[in-house]
Structure 1
């Protein structure tokens, strides 16, 4: 089994919080991975050596500062009433809504969903903003969110 039932997920509340409830149809497409499967994906796509974004080092593609864009602000959009993604992010990612995406909080905590679900509910995903990374299955674009209210974009290498 690769997934944990959403009802058993320790951070389930970020998707069921009264102030930002997620539609039932979208909840069904938010699938947290088991720790073992999350760790496997992390090693394959993010880092073979670092457990989280704070510890990227030599050999991690994400540690290459030259690949990352300037920082853009997500906090203002998050605080606002509009549910739309921040402009630069929406323009950078041109994936189909059914593209499988992985929202990677850290090595043992990754959620699989679809790009359309993420776009509609991105604010929920960012209740925890301690360096998560968004990547798409078989896609090169990556977005790295910072707890400082910013994000940067890059083309990742495999």
Structure 2
């Protein structure tokens, strides 16, 4: 089994919080991985050696500062009443709505969903903003969110 039932997910509340509830249809497509599967996704796509974004090391593709764009603000869009992601993020990601995405909080906490589900519910995902990275399956683009209310874009290497 690769997934944890959403009802058993330790951070389930971010998707069921009264101030920003997620639609039932979308909840069905938000799939937290087990710790073992999360670790495998993290190892294959983020880092074989670092447990989270605060500890990237030489050899991790994300450690290379030269690949990352300048920082763009996400906090203002998150605080607004409008549901849209920041324009700079949407301009960088040309993914189709049904693209499978991985929202990687850290080595043992990765969620799979579809790009259109993430776009509608991105504010929920960012209730925890301690360095998560968004990647798409078979896509090179990556978004690294900072708890400072900014994000950076990059093309990742394999």
TM-score by length of 2: 1.00
Gaps of 5+ in 2: none
Aligned length: 158
Gaps of 5+ in 1: none
Deviations 1:10-54 (A, max 9, x none): 000000000000000000000000000000010000000000000
3-state SS of the aligned residue for 2:153?
A: strand
Within 2, Cα distance between the matches of 1:88 and 1:103?
Answer: 18
Within 2, Cα distance between the matches of 1:93 and 1:124?
Answer: 19
Say if 2:85 is the partner of 1:88: no
Cα distance, 1:149 vs structure 2: 0.3
- Residue of structure 1 equivalent to 2:120: 120
TM-score by length of 1: 1.00
Deviations 1:88-119 (A, max 9, x none): 00111110100000000000000000000000
Within 1, Cα distance between the matches of 2:102 and 2:114?
Answer: 8
Cα distance, 1:130 vs structure 2: 0.1
3-state SS of the aligned residue for 2:70?
A: coil
> Where do 4+ consecutive residues of structure 1 move more than 2 Å?
none
Cα distance, 1:55 vs structure 2: 0.1
